[in-house]
């Protein structure tokens, strides 16, 4: 028994004659007659009574038709559902992002737009630093992620450049330091002051680039505490433990006890990209990348093309 036998049977049952059914199905009448006979032989009972006036379902045929209609409807629904997954309109999408990228700009805008336009895609989001995201994508634990790409892109990855942030100084409000708010801050005025930073193991490329830039500017950071995230670092800044150099993305969520300043003599460009594996096969990912390309990130600038 094949699926076409069931579709032919349902079509014949809905028409008064084999001829009418054959016209609907665009196959010859002898062919459809043969298919129905084959089905009856396999089932071992008659589905129709035949008379000069046409065909009529037997009681067994009528019962069989009710079940076949449910089966065909379920098959059609399954096909439509699978087609939506294949088109990226349904399914699951697992994305990572660095926490500070989610406060403002292209990342929350793209996520909001994608959810509004693609209601049947289940979106799973994980807050991870950039190296953790690269590892998770490589291990197929994530489909893609928003990362700060400082080193070479790993083999087999694609990247969509979005924007470039810089670093800013975070000072405890409790510190009484006179500064003209209209001027860039000279980090050298904090010589001897304690700083909060992060362990090198968190993101070696970023750590080395930051401390190398400080050294080139003649600045030595007196690090008294290390924390694995900028949120934790800023909590210590709030407590007056030390100052910190953090991503300018944190300007979108300033803690009450922290003052941020742009720096005169220190710059560490942080390119934000969306990355994914080149051989990724999730259609929802392709749809998200399309949404991301179209997303207007407002005052931060236009999306770069990849």
Q: CATH 3.40.190.10 region(s) of the chain?
A: 92-164+271-300, 167-261
Q: CATH 1.10.10.10 region(s) of the chain?
A: 3-86
Question: Token pair 């362990």 is at which residue?
Answer: 199
Q: What is the pLDDT of residues 156-167, one digit of tens each?
A: 999 999 999 999
Residue pair 173/257 in contact by the 8 Å Cβ criterion: yes
Tell me, rounded to whole angstroms, the distance of Cα 288 from its chain centroid: 6
The answer to whether domain 3-86 has CATH 3.30.750.24 is no
> With bands split at pLDDT 50, 70 and 90, how would you rate the model's confidence at 178?
confident
Q: What is the pLDDT of residues 99-118, one digit of tens each?
A: 999 999 999 999 999 999 98
Question: For position 301, what pLDDT does the model report?
Answer: 38
Closest CA to 198 of 238, 161, 235: 235
Q: What is the C-alpha separation between 204 and 221, in angstroms, rounded?
A: 17
Task: Say if residue 126's pLDDT is above 70.
Answer: yes
Task: Say if residue 190's pLDDT is above 70.
Answer: yes
Closest CA to 220 of 231, 228, 209, 211: 211
Task: Say if residue 262's pLDDT is above 90.
Answer: yes
Residue pair 115/107 in contact by the 8 Å Cβ criterion: no
pTM: 0.77
Q: Which position has the higher pLDDT, 211 or 25?
A: 211
Question: For position 306, what pLDDT does the model report?
Answer: 33
Question: For position 296, what pLDDT does the model report?
Answer: 54
Pairing of strands 90-97, 48-51: unpaired
Closest CA to 260 of 270, 248, 269: 248
Task: Please give the order of strands across the beta sheet that includes 244-247.
Answer: 244-247, 167-172, 258-261
Tell me, what DSSP letter sits at residue 185? B
Q: What is the CB neighbour count within 10 angstroms for residue 209?
A: 17
The upper half-sphere exposure of residue 191, i.e. CA atoms within 13 Å in the direction of its Cβ, equals 7
Question: For position 93, what pLDDT does the model report?
Answer: 95
Task: Say if residue 278's pLDDT is above 50.
Answer: yes
For residue 61, give the 3-state DSSP assignment.
Answer: helix
Q: What is the C-alpha separation between 238 and 57, in angstroms, rounded?
A: 81
Q: How far apart are the first and last CA of the chain?
A: 51
Question: For position 297, what pLDDT does the model report?
Answer: 47
Percent of the chain with pLDDT over 90: 61
Q: Which CATH class is domain 92-164+271-300?
A: alpha beta
Which range is least confidently modeled, 29-43, 187-201, 273-287, 292-306? 292-306
Closest CA to 13 of 59, 48, 51, 63: 48
Write out the DSSP string of 253-304: S--TTEEEE-BSS----EEEEEEEETT---HHHHHHHHHHHH---GGG-PPP
- Fold of domain 167-261: D-Maltodextrin-Binding Protein; domain 2 (3.40.190)
Task: For the chain, give the mean pLDDT.
Answer: 88
- Tokens at residue 18, please? 């084999």
Q: What is the C-alpha separation between 167 and 261, in angstroms, rounded?
A: 9
């Amino acid at each position: 028994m094949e699926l076409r036998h069931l579709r032919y049977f349902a079509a014949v049952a809905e028409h008064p004659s084999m001829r009418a059914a054959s016209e609907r199905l665009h196959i010859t009448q002898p062919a459809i007659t043969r298919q129905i006979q084959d089905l009856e032989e396999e089932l071992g009972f008659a589905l129709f009574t035949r008379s000069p006036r046409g065909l009529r379902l037997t009681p067994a045929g009528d019962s069989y038709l009710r079940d076949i209609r449910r089966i065909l409807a379920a098959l059609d629904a399954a096909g439509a559902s699978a087609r939506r997954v294949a088109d990226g309109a349904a399914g699951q999408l697992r994305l990572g992002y660095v926490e500070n990228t989610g406060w403002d700009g292209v990342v929350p805008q793209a996520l909001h737009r994608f959810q509004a336009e693609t209601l049947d895609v289940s979106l799973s989001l994980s807050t991870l630093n950039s190296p953790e995201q690269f590892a998770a994508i490589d291990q197929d634990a994530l489909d893609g992620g928003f990362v700060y790409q400082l080193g070479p892109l790993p083999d087999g990855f694609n990247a969509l450049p979005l924007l470039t942030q810089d670093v800013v100084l975070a000072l405890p409000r409790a510190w009484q330091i006179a500064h003209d708010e209209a001027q860039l801050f000279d980090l050298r005025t904090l010589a001897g002051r304690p700083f909060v930073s992060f362990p090198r193991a968190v993101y070696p490329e970023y750590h080395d680039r930051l401390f190398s830039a400080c050294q080139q500017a003649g600045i030595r950071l007196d690090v008294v505490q290390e924390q694995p995230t900028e949120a934790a670092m800023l909590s210590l800044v709030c407590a007056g433990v030390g100052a910190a150099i953090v991503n300018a993305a944190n300007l979108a969520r300033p803690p009450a006890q922290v003052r941020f300043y742009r720096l005169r003599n220190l710059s560490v460009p942080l390119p934000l990209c969306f990355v994914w594996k080149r051989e990724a096969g999730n259609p929802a990912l392709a749809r998200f990348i399309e949404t991301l390309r179209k997303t207007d990130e407002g005052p931060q600038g236009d999306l770069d093309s990849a």
